[in-house]
Amino acid sequence: MSAISIGQAAVLGVVEGVTEFLPVSSTGHLKITEGLMGIPVDDTSVVGFTAVIQVGAIAAVLVYFFRDIVRIVSAWFRGVAHREERHHHDYKFAWWVIYATIPIVVVGLAAKPLIEGPLASLWVVAGSLLVGSGLMWAADQMGRHKRGEDDTTLKDAMLVGSSQILALLFPGFSRSGATMSTALILDLDRVAATRLSFFLGIPALTGAGLYELKDAVGAGVGAAPLVVGTAMSFVVAYASIAWLLKYVAKHSFNAFVIYRVAIAVLLFGLLATGTVDA
């Protein structure tokens, strides 16, 4: 029998799709939802399942930004083949995404036992939601929002990419929240920060999903729940991406900060009363 039913997979796919790219922590919301449905959050197959359905959200990014990705990848191949093409920003940006992915890969492999064990606790999620909210609020206040996407540098990419480690180690911190906050502190505008977060998430999340696939299938999650969860994640994530880019063009991140704090307080209450198991 599958560790996750098709119905549960559909719900988790929707949650993943809505929250993966919003700065509210997809991992935190998935773990809360799993806890409410009685699914063990630290089970190896469950951890693998949540990583795999992220691929649906990443596929949504690939489709939504298809033209941008083709342009950047084409520039990279041209630069590799022809030295005179290497001054283009897209060629450099492609390398920056590769470089910026290395830190999270190294930490992810080294800290895997901690990530899937003690750090998978819902107490960690609740605390990380609060701390991450404080960082997001401070970054939005500090940032001068004066630099666009074409102004990004290798330093920006490395700092923003490395900030993904916070979300990797502390579920609830939010990968998109950490990357967007770091980009804002570096004075990128909100749209540039959001787009940079998307691009840097592609290799990291795709790699995590493919790496965990064997554990998800081998440890008791059937093919049907994986397909359903991933498909739901794709559809909902595509809509979320379109909405978020329009939202950040005109609004601050304050609404997300308030929401995160409210969810953290609610989760602390549920844990303290024993309503959900940590």
* CA-angle at 160, arms to 54 and 176, nearest 5°: 35
pLDDT in tens, 96-120: 999 999 999 999 889 888 887 788 7
User: What burial letters (b/e) apply to 127-152, b meaning 16+ CB within 10 Å?
Assistant: bbbbbbbebbbebbeebeeebebeeb
Average pLDDT in the 186-198 region?
93
Please say whether the beta carbons of 162 and 108 come within 8 A.
no
Higher pLDDT, 25 or 160: 160
2 — pLDDT class (breaks 50, 70, 90): low
Q: Any idea where the domains of the chain sit in the sequence? A: 6-272
| CB proximity list for 253: less than 8 A, separation 6 or greater | 23, 136, 137, 139, 140, 180, 190
Average pLDDT in the 20-40 region?
85
Which residue bears the tokens 């693998």?
A: 48
pTM of the model: 0.86
pLDDT in tens, 173-182: 889 999 999 9
**pLDDT for 213 beyond 70:** no
**pLDDT for 187 beyond 90:** yes
Specify the pLDDT at position 256. Answer: 95
Higher pLDDT, 28 or 151: 151
222 — pLDDT class (breaks 50, 70, 90): confident
Specify the pLDDT at position 108. Answer: 87
pLDDT in tens, 119-147: 878 899 899 999 999 999 999 999 888 99
Average pLDDT in the 147-156 region?
92
**pLDDT for 221 beyond 60:** yes
Specify the pLDDT at position 76. Answer: 96
Long-range residue pairs from 87-95, CB within 8 A, at least 24 positions apart, any chain: 89/150, 92/154, 93/152, 93/157, 93/199
The mean predicted confidence, pLDDT, of the chain is 89
**pLDDT for 43 beyond 90:** no
36 — pLDDT class (breaks 50, 70, 90): confident
Task: Of 48-52, 59-63, 221-225, 270-274, give the range with the top mean pLDDT.
Answer: 59-63
Specify the pLDDT at position 217. Answer: 61
Q: How much of the chain, in percent, has pLDDT values that exceed 70? A: 95
Average pLDDT in the 83-100 region?
94
Specify the pLDDT at position 216. Answer: 62
Residue 249 CA to residue 84 CA, distance in Å, equals: 35
